[in-house]
Structure 1
Amino acid sequence: MVIAASNLQIYNLHSEAIWQELYPLLRSLAKRFVYSFDVTCWHGQEEDLVEDIVQETALRLLGYAERVEHGEAGPIQALEPMIWAIAYRYCIDRRRRDRRLMRITTDGNSPEFDTINNDQVDLSEVAIEQAYYEEIFTLLASEIAQFPYKQRRALLIDLSNRMCFDDQPSSLQAAFIKANIRLQEYRQPLPADHRERSRHSALLHEAYKRVAHLFSCLHECTVA
C-alpha cells in the first residue's frame, strides 16, 4: 500500500480507518525485523518487541504528520517507505543497544551468561541492511515511475549513463525492472544543442529535488 501526499486529505492519519489499514502493515514489518534479527536476549519477548516497534513507529509517524500540518516539515509523499524507514531504524537502534547486554539464565544453581556472537550479528545486520535498501530502492523506483514524463525521462537518462550493466542487475536496476523500467534502454548521449542540454539539466534538477525530498521525509521521521 502506497498512499501519496494527494490522498492525505482522504486518508487522515488521525482517523481510525487509516490505522486499520496501517496496523497490519506495521505488524508485518515489525515481525519480519524482530525474527530476522534473531537477537538472543529477545528470545521469548518477540511479541512484546513487535508491539513496541508498532507503537513507536505510529507515534513517530503521527508526530511527523503534525509537523506537516503546522508547516514545519514537507508533505509525506508515500506512507509505505516512511513506515519502512521508521520501523527499521527503531529496530536497529534497539538491537544495537540490546546486543551489548547479557541475559543471565539459570540452570539449577549455575548461572550462565548467554552472549551474542559479534561476528554473526554483524553479518546478519549487513544482510538485513541490504534487504532494507533493496526495499527502499523498489519503493523509490515506483515513485520515480510516477514523476512527470519529462522529469522522469531526464532522471532515467542520467542514471543509466552513470551505470554499468552486467548480466546480473544491481539492486537499483532490479528495483526499476519491478517498476517496468529498464534503465539500459535510456542510455544515450546528452543533447548536442545548447538549448536542449540546458532544458535537460533543468528537468534533471527538478527530478533530483523530488528524490531528495522523499529521502528527506524518510530521514526526518527516523530521527524523530
Structure 2
Amino acid sequence: MQPILLGVDGLGYGGFMECETATLLSLVNSMERGVVENHAPQSEQSAWSSVLMMDGPDPASSALIKATKAVPINLPITNPTFGLVSIAMDESTPPSEEVGKVIDAVISASRNRPVIASITALERFLHVKPQLKCEIYSVIDEGIRKLVSSEDIGHLIIFSPFGEPQSQREGDHYDYGVYLSTMPRPRHHDTVKIHEIGQLFLDMVEASQYR
C-alpha cells in the first residue's frame, strides 16, 4: 500500500483511555507518537487548508495533493466533503456509515496511490451529543483496526487537527490533538504544528519511493 494520511477530527488521547479503544491504545505503544498543537480558532476548514497547503478556497489548489498525487477522501474543506467519499457536514450520515465508507475507500485507493482522508464523526456529533462519545470512538477504533490489519499496510500517519470538542460552540476544541506515525519525525520531543503535518506526509511519500 502507498502512504496514508488519515485525519480523525476531534480525536484525543484521553478518549482512548476513557473509551478503552483497544486498537488505538495498541498503536500508541507501537507507533511514533506526538501531540498536535492547534490553538483557537480551530475550524475544520482552516485546519485542513493548512494541512493541504491550499492557496485559496478551491481544493484543486492543494499543493500537497499535487505534490504527492494523493487520492482525496472525505476531506472537510468543503460541505459536502471533498473526494471519493462525500458527505454533508451535519448529523445526516451515521458514524458507522462514514467510517465504513472512508476506510474501505482508503484501503482500495492506497493500493495504487497515496491517500489523504478524514473521518469527521466526532466533530459532527460531539458538539451537540457528547453522550455518544464512546460509541463513536468504538466505531472509529474498529475502522482503524480494519485498516492496520490490511494486507501489505505501508506508511501511515493518523492525526487530529485539534482535540475533542469541549462545548456546543462550533470550533471550540481542546488545543491538543493526536499524532501517530510509522516514521520518526525531526524534533520528536516538540509538539506538531498544524502547518507541519502536510510536509511530514510529503516527506513520507518521498521516502517511500526509495524503499
More helix by share: 1
TM-score per shorter chain, which class? under 0.3
More strand by share: 2
